[in-house]
Chains A and B, each alone.
Chain A
């Protein structure tokens, strides 16, 4: 049962081949057995999950419910869940019980999905390896000595190990797509504003976007349909109808214009990974797609740009964690300043502090123009590059990550090398466009991902292209050894 996709599970539930309670029990048992090794789940909500599964079964028995009714999922621990611990991977929220549901959680609950718990993540989503979590690193089921990527590493490992058929994630600079690539699953980051950010603990507000990690583009389409849409509680969410992503999945891609990013193939890309990408392009060509080279001249500036904008916003967003109203408070503060300094000093980890300090610096009087303002200008140039590219092509395709999963500890002492891991994914966040990563092969036994990017609100097209690829290939069906 655990290897089935959402589409298959949904059919099974409707055909009464199994109940949601049975499905939920079996996955909870699997989590109990395997999570110690993977550390993918931080909180498992067994009782709530079984209660939700029972309700789903009643709905199904009454002949009601939708495609997600009774489907187990998991939430990245960045989404607030009413009455359930929400840590954001940080000591500062170690015992924080959220008093409300994020919009994403609320909508998936309303769609009948059954949440099994909360998944591990880099602290405040700041990291590309899931090693910055206060609750310890997540292990990649393909090789437990290796990272699953980050920051949605817990969600990625849980789906890859088939502990849950799909999970929510968030993507600020690649935090859905990179772990999806490194664990051999499908990860979709929607257009900025497509999914509400309400209840999603903010890292960098202008870049953060909720999305999904799943086994296939088809499953991602089903989840996105339920999650997306305007939310009056999020002023940056866009009031635009949500299409039926599922209905267009199988549309032919004959004549599809695919752009190949010259900049993506130029440097740093693992040669074996490059071969997998080229092989994938042949799959598209065989279906009648046309590939042309496109250039985004400003894209090489995306990493420095991102590492000004994201820390600037995070330095402000994380100010509310001050030990006053909620979260960790230091023991016996001498005075107010001591309370602030020690609560935050003890509550935040090294990477979060590094970014708060960087962000504080770039916003300071005298530096604002040179850093923050300049970064905003470059961000606009990168957006313009993408816009021009999408006048020539329908989608842009390239690698998701320069290398397959690296070993735990390999890059922790070298933040710059770690940051460069996001070199292919950051552009989509800066431009606010959607992007999806699909598995496209193995390098030395480890999965690598193919990234497809499109113009704003082109999720249906991206899912269609990814689905057509998955109709022709089996990479998304690969399951790491020991988890079959």
Chain B
């Protein structure tokens, strides 16, 4: 039987506020246990919550960026359960009336087509603390630094049909919250985490299958692997004549499997009710207009602009806009290389001039943006990944990279030599020109010098020359290699090609 997978995600994004959602304690990660927990966070008798306005604005920002409805009046509710890292015995969350409802985000599928994923709701809530079980001689410790940290829980519709779609959506949300600067997206520190609701049904069936909720998915890779495992598990049960139980399952990355945590029957009755300590959250048009004014260019808008303005493919535009920092870096490189033809729609004259400019120099302009794209996505991203660095703290600045690319453009060095220069720039921080000079990497463009090198190689390899001239065309590459070896890779490739073709035929 053919099966269809149905996936919905609940993403918890920790909002990047300086203080907690209901208290003035700091939210910085990694502080000594309980050093960032005040009386409110500890749930002391008599203390009261006071809502952090910045967290509300961040939720509104997310809502506006996903075309959602912003509730003019939403309610904070208490979710009641006992756990040692939940100091008050309840979590303040939003239940019946969340602040954000009915948004959408588009993802790009593997075949290049777009798919719209519905966002049911996004609501504000406080995080719990952490229970520590190691190194405490059999006792448990509680660290309440994280208690009260603001979270935006983003709940999708069950619109995804494969683990890959789920990952694409999760990445899209990850990109968006960082663009909006409402979440640092750090998954190792738990600033961005995800639960997945997964079910399967026979292809063509209308009714949804029984779902399992997967917890502990703290990387994109785990989301994909956990969902794939779970889908296989559920199909296995159904094909064996069994039925899937509605339950919460924990993903174990070491064994790559999901395990039952608790069934529906064991689930807590959270006894939600409106928190009487907090007034309904009122958001008026003025706040919405104000937040709207702070929205940056969104990833999709930026990608579309990159495609049209820089002449990049949809794929390259998508990669380069995956993070705001990467996109900014790329644009800085392009700008430093001389910029793009400006197509300012508001100024017809300029636009005319710009189109003329573009018409006059189309190749150079597109070459610059494509060259920059290739290097940013290739060498630079590779080096950043290799050394685990963020682009914002890149060893090679956008201006420095542009300095290197300019030397490719003006034929001072070849692309191959440029990679060597890049590595040197990465390790010792010098400019491209300094390295080219110091190592004598300047490309040989002197026709006489190239000719001398070609002649020397021909003289040194008479048998190969004879074979080539007898029709063995593929020996052409051998001669290129020999000349490059002799010139330490510095011969201008285009000139060398031309020269060789001419000389070998003589």
Contact = CB atoms under 8 A, between A and B. Distances in A.
B87 A320 contact: yes
B278 A325 contact: no
A324 interface: yes
B276 A206 contact: yes
B170 to A, nearest CB: 31
B276 A102 contact: no
Nearest to B23: A233
A368 B273 contact: yes
Contacts of A325: 42-44, 87, 142
Contacts of B290: none
Contacts of A198: 46-48
**A: interface residue count bin:** 35 or more
Given A235-B278, A320-B88, A324-B142, A312 B273 contact: yes
A96 interface: yes
Nearest to B142: A324
A206 to B, nearest CB: 4
Nearest to B84: A324
Interface in B82-107: 82, 84, 87-90
A204 B279 CA distance: 15
B215 interface: no
B381 interface: no
A90 B80 CA distance: 22
B165 to A, nearest CB: 33
Contacts of A324: 84, 87, 142
A198 B48 CA distance: 6
Contact of A235 (B39, B49, B89): B49
Contact of B45 (A204, A320, A336): A320
Interface residues of B, number: 28
Interface stretch (A153-161, A269-277, A359-367, A383-391): A359-367
Contact of B89 (A102, A313, A320, A326): A320
A368 B80 CA distance: 14
B387 to A, nearest CB: 43
B269 interface: yes
B78 interface: yes
Interface in A380-430: none
Interface in B160-178: none
A372 B80 CA distance: 15
A200 interface: yes
A234 B48 contact: yes
A271 B48 CA distance: 44
B44 A336 contact: no
Interface string A85-107: 01010000100101110100000
B50 interface: yes
Interface in A259-295: none
Contacts of A340: 82
A80 B39 CA distance: 12
Contacts of A319: 80, 82, 88-90
A80 B50 contact: no
Interface in A309-362: 312-313, 315-316, 318-322, 324-326, 336, 340, 360
Contacts of A312: 273
A405 B480 CA distance: 112
A318 B271 CA distance: 14
A320 B80 CA distance: 11
A462 interface: no
Nearest to A231: B48
B48 A99 contact: no
A235 B50 contact: yes
Given A325-B42, A363-B273, A235 B279 contact: yes
Contacts of B297: none
Given A235-B50, A313-B276, A364-B269, A86 B87 contact: no
Contacts of B278: 235-236
**Is chain A's binding surface mostly helix, strand, loop or mixed?**
loop
B50 A316 contact: no
Interface string B260-277: 000000000101110011
A183 B156 CA distance: 60
Given A236-B277, A316-B80, A96 B45 contact: yes
**Is chain B's binding surface mostly helix, strand, loop or mixed?**
loop
A449 B271 CA distance: 39
A316 B89 contact: yes
A201 B45 contact: yes
B336 interface: no
Contacts of A326: 42, 44-45
B273 A316 contact: yes
- Which among B42, B47, B278 has the greatest number of chain A C-beta atoms within 10 A? B47
A202 interface: yes
Contacts of A10: none
B166 to A, nearest CB: 29
B504 interface: no
Contacts of B298: none
B50 A233 contact: yes
B217 to A, nearest CB: 26
Given A316-B90, A320-B87, A324-B142, A80 B269 contact: no
B365 to A, nearest CB: 57
- Which among B45, B49, B271, B279 has the greatest number of chain A C-beta atoms within 10 A? B45
A216 B238 CA distance: 77
B415 to A, nearest CB: 62
Contacts of A322: 82, 84, 89
Interface string A171-213: 0000000000000000000000000011111101110000000
A232 interface: yes
Nearest to B24: A233
Contacts of A235: 48-51, 277-279
A324 B273 CA distance: 24
Contacts of A318: 89
A340 B81 CA distance: 12
A63 to B, nearest CB: 36
Contacts of A79: 46
Contacts of B271: 315-316, 360, 363-365, 368
Contacts of B89: 316, 318-320, 322
Nearest to A376: B274
Contacts of B46: 79-80, 98, 102, 198-202
Contacts of B78: 316
A355 to B, nearest CB: 14
Contacts of B90: 316, 319
Contacts of B51: 235
Contacts of A100: 39, 44
A80 B142 contact: no
B77 to A, nearest CB: 10
Contacts of A199: 46-47
B479 to A, nearest CB: 78
B45 A98 contact: yes
Contacts of B273: 312, 316, 363, 368, 372
B84 A336 contact: yes
Contacts of A364: 269, 271
A312 B273 CA distance: 9
B246 to A, nearest CB: 15
Contacts of B49: 235
A336 B140 CA distance: 10
Contacts of B48: 197-198, 233-236
A99 B39 contact: yes
11 contacts: A86-B45, A100-B39, A198-B48, A202-B45, A204-B276, A235-B51, A319-B89, A324-B84, A325-B43, A326-B45, A363-B80
Given A325-B142, A364-B269, 19 more contacts: A100-B44, A102-B46, A199-B46, A205-B277, A233-B50, A235-B48, A235-B50, A235-B279, A236-B48, A236-B276, A236-B277, A313-B276, A319-B89, A320-B43, A324-B84, A326-B44, A364-B271, A368-B271, A368-B273
Interface of B: 39, 42-51, 78, 80, 82, 84, 87-90, 142, 269, 271-273, 276-279
In order of increasing CB-CB distance, the 4 nearest A-B pairs are A319-B89, A206-B276, A363-B271, A205-B276
